[in-house]
Structure 1
Amino acid sequence: MSNEQVNLFSIIDAYVYQSFSSIIGEMVVVQTTQGSLRGVLKTVMPDHLVVEISNRPFYIRTTEVVWVSPE
């Protein structure tokens, strides 16, 4: 992988991180490559999200997220 490709992924990840950060504390639906989850977005990190469902945290790798929608 060239440096240009690495930099492009870093920029895209930064936008995703910033977008997810703006909806922390809200109910969300997260579609992943394995299915969908519905709960409260608790934390956003550069490599994962934490969605709380029935008082239990679910850690979702950012690379597995297809889309996120506030409810």
Structure 2
Amino acid sequence: MKNHTSVQLVNHIDSYFYQMLSECLNKNIVVQTTNNPVQGKLTQVMPDYIVVTVQRTPFYIRMEKIVWITKSSYREE
């Protein structure tokens, strides 16, 4: 008899944080991740990740890696 195990992924979504991020869509932000800060335009918000575009390069950042976010005066040239 084979023993089958199932894997269930669980992702907690903070609706207030998601709403705040949605309000920052297409604005310049700084995102402090657990590794490094990323500064650019917030171009996409999904329940489990965001996309910050820096000089036409998209950076996909998982929500659980975000420490803090603030608005930025960054302007892409």
Q: TM-score, normalised by structure 2?
A: 0.76
Runs of 5+ in structure 1 lacking a partner? 1-5
More strand by share: 1
Report the counterpart of residue 3 of structure 1 in structure 2. Answer: none
- Indicate the percent of aligned positions where both proteins have the same amino acid: 42
Q: Which residue of 1 aligns with 2:41?
A: 40
Number of residue-to-residue matches in the alignment: 62
For the pair shown, which has the larger CA radius of gyration, 1 or 2?
2
Q: Give the Cα–Cα distance (whole angstroms) in 2 for the partners of residues 63 and 16 of structure 1.
A: 12
Structure 1's consecutive aligned runs of 4 or more residues displaced over 2 angstroms after TM superposition are none
TM-score norm. by structure 1 comes to: 0.82
Q: 1:63, CA displacement in angstroms?
A: 0.4
Matched, 1:54 2:68: no
